[in-house]
Amino acid sequence: MKIEGERRPSCLHEWQGLPADGEHWAFDDLRYREVFCRLCWTQLLSWIRLYFGRMDGHDIGHLTRMLTRQAKIDCSSMLHAPTEKGRGCQYAVEDPRRFHSPSPYTVQNGKVVFVPKDRPTWTAVFSEALVELARTDKRIVAITAAMPDGTGLNKFRQAFPDRYIDVGINESHAVAMAAGLAKAGLRPVIAIYSTFLQRAFDQIFHDVALQHLPVIFCIDRAGVVGSDGAVHHGCMDIAYLRPLPGMTLMGPAEAAEMKAALEFALSLDGPAAIRYPRDEVPPSLGGPCPPFELTRMRTVAPGNDGALLCYGVTVEPALDAAEQLSKTDHLKISVINARFAKPLDVLGITKLVNSAKPVLVCEDHATAGGFGSAVLELAAARGLSTSNVRLLALPDRFIAHATRPQQLTEVGLDAASIAATIKEMILHPAPAGTKRRS
């Protein structure tokens, strides 16, 4: 279908008689009710030759016929078919953001009742800690890329509307803006899902890391994310951030460590990243939370038969695994939160590897380029034997939809799998100088 001999208007408003919102111009074939507005947006979207709209995005039959006709056009075109989020479910229409990715709920007497969680989520803990710190540190500015609810920054927006920025779905711009704010003396905190932060790698490199600016990246949905599936898994952030000079990477293991990591990040003069999953926070590790000190690991549970060297959230299943082995096999396994994937605790890790006791490195991240890779790089650089070291991380494949606990079990990062792996290492140690499979 060609439209010939038509002059391109200089702008949208040059068309006379443009229909008002909700009205339309129809094809001569009235059976299809298609709206056909011939617009050329030279100044706005010069590549769009034809505009089709505005039509009901819920009318599947109409859209199908329209798309079939539109496919026959040999020039660029745009179909404008707005929809209503939550259509067909009134309570979702009334609260579309809450029902974008809702937690379990029931409907009682026509009203939605959400199932209360046993523990707060990592997102909620981050949100509360950031608001608390911002009350005393006026330099803090929070930035999101159209995800105030998902990242927990909606509470920050309510408390400090003049220090909150939503750039829309534009992670690259969010990071570039944060760099400019940091250059001006502020302390921008960017909360972005791990998988979406990948879109902004160029800006992280050139605008933040290269300038050594104190931007804090709070990486939500790190690791496997459950029902959102492979597209949302955050399994590569350590790998693409670790090579950047001057970058500090942290993984808290409990709510108190989340706040401590934020406090430490705010004290740095360069970029830092804190990763945490889409999950409930574990119970307190017990006792006061030691402040974060650059590179320093935290021993959570002592033991002499082997070590579970964890990065952040894998501490919880590691503690359960150690407790299980203590009861069933009388083995005393130490559990350590490395806290830092960069820079590493060189002395602490060297001592662990040189102990000749089995060391199982656990992380909710891809094996390639992750925390475990950093441990092996350190050992290689210092000429250490790693026959007693094994990596337990996400495999080299995409993980399908399931609940997060199911996914962790699938990849061997649940308590039972961790216990079985470290027990096998203890019972069948690799001879010194040989390579253990990982």
Note whether 319 and 283 are within 8 A (CB).
Answer: no
The pLDDT confidence band at residue 433, using thresholds 50, 70 and 90, is low
Q: What is the pLDDT of residue 64?
A: 92
Rounded-to-integer distance, Cα 54 and Cα 285, Å: 56
Q: What is the pLDDT of residue 194?
A: 97
Collect all residues with Cβ–Cβ distance below 8 Å to 180 and sequence separation of at least 6: none
The pLDDT confidence band at residue 11, using thresholds 50, 70 and 90, is very low
Name the average pLDDT for the chain.
87
Is pLDDT at 144 greater than 80 in this prediction? yes
428 versus 259: the higher-pLDDT residue is: 259
- 71-75, 199-203, 388-392, 419-423: least confident range: 71-75
The pLDDT confidence band at residue 289, using thresholds 50, 70 and 90, is very high
The amino acid occupying position 118 is: D
Among the listed residues 33, 38, 157, 199, the single catalytic one is 199
- 101-115, 176-190, 326-340: least confident range: 101-115
Q: What is the pLDDT of residue 253?
A: 98
Neighbouring C-beta atoms of residue 126, cutoff 10 Å: 28
Q: What is the pLDDT of residue 18?
A: 36
Domains of the chain: 1-84 (no CATH), 122-275 (3.40.50.970), 298-427 (3.40.50.920)
347 membership: H or E segment, kind and range: helix 346-354
Tell me the residue ranges of DSSP E strands in 266-313.
272-275, 298-301, 306-310
Q: What is the pLDDT of residue 45?
A: 53
Is pLDDT at 35 greater than 70 in this prediction? no
Structure-block tokens of residue 257: 């460590």
263 assigned to active site = no
Opening angle at CA 280, ends 276 and 285, nearest 5: 80
Share of the chain above pLDDT 70, in %: 87
Q: What is the pLDDT of residue 104?
A: 80
The pLDDT confidence band at residue 29, using thresholds 50, 70 and 90, is very low
For residue 261, give the nearest of 299, 296, 232 by alpha carbon. 296
Neighbouring C-beta atoms of residue 27, cutoff 10 Å: 13
Q: What is the pLDDT of residue 22?
A: 40
Q: What is the pLDDT of residue 28?
A: 37
The pLDDT confidence band at residue 48, using thresholds 50, 70 and 90, is low
The pLDDT confidence band at residue 101, using thresholds 50, 70 and 90, is confident
85 assigned to active site = yes
Cis-peptide, bond into residue 54, ω within 30° of zero: yes
Q: What is the pLDDT of residue 178?
A: 98
Q: What is the pLDDT of residue 51?
A: 76
Among the listed residues 34, 171, 257, 316, the single catalytic one is 171
- 35-49, 71-85, 326-340: least confident range: 35-49
Rounded-to-integer distance, Cα 308 and Cα 306, Å: 7
Q: What is the pLDDT of residue 52?
A: 80
List Cα–Cα distances, 163 to 123, 131, 268, 269, in angstroms. Answer: 19, 11, 20, 20
Q: What is the pLDDT of residue 237?
A: 98
- 68-82, 165-179, 310-324: least confident range: 68-82
pLDDT in tens, 122-134: 999 999 999 999 9
Structure-block tokens of residue 168: 């829309």
For residue 308, give the nearest of 282, 345, 283, 333 by alpha carbon. 333
Q: What is the pLDDT of residue 88?
A: 83
171 assigned to active site = yes
Q: What is the pLDDT of residue 407?
A: 96
Is pLDDT at 432 greater than 80 in this prediction? no
pLDDT in tens, 291-342: 999 999 999 999 999 999 999 999 999 999 999 999 999 999 999 999 999 9
Alpha helices in 43-136 (DSSP H): 60-70, 90-94, 122-136
- 47-61, 137-151, 231-245, 368-382: least confident range: 47-61
Among the listed residues 8, 85, 138, 351, the single catalytic one is 85
Is pLDDT at 112 greater than 70 in this prediction? yes
21 versus 276: the higher-pLDDT residue is: 276
Q: What is the pLDDT of residue 17?
A: 38
Rounded-to-integer distance, Cα 23 and Cα 190, Å: 41
Rounded-to-integer distance, Cα 368 and Cα 396, Å: 8
Alpha helices in 115-193 (DSSP H): 122-136, 154-159, 171-183
Q: What is the pLDDT of residue 94?
A: 80
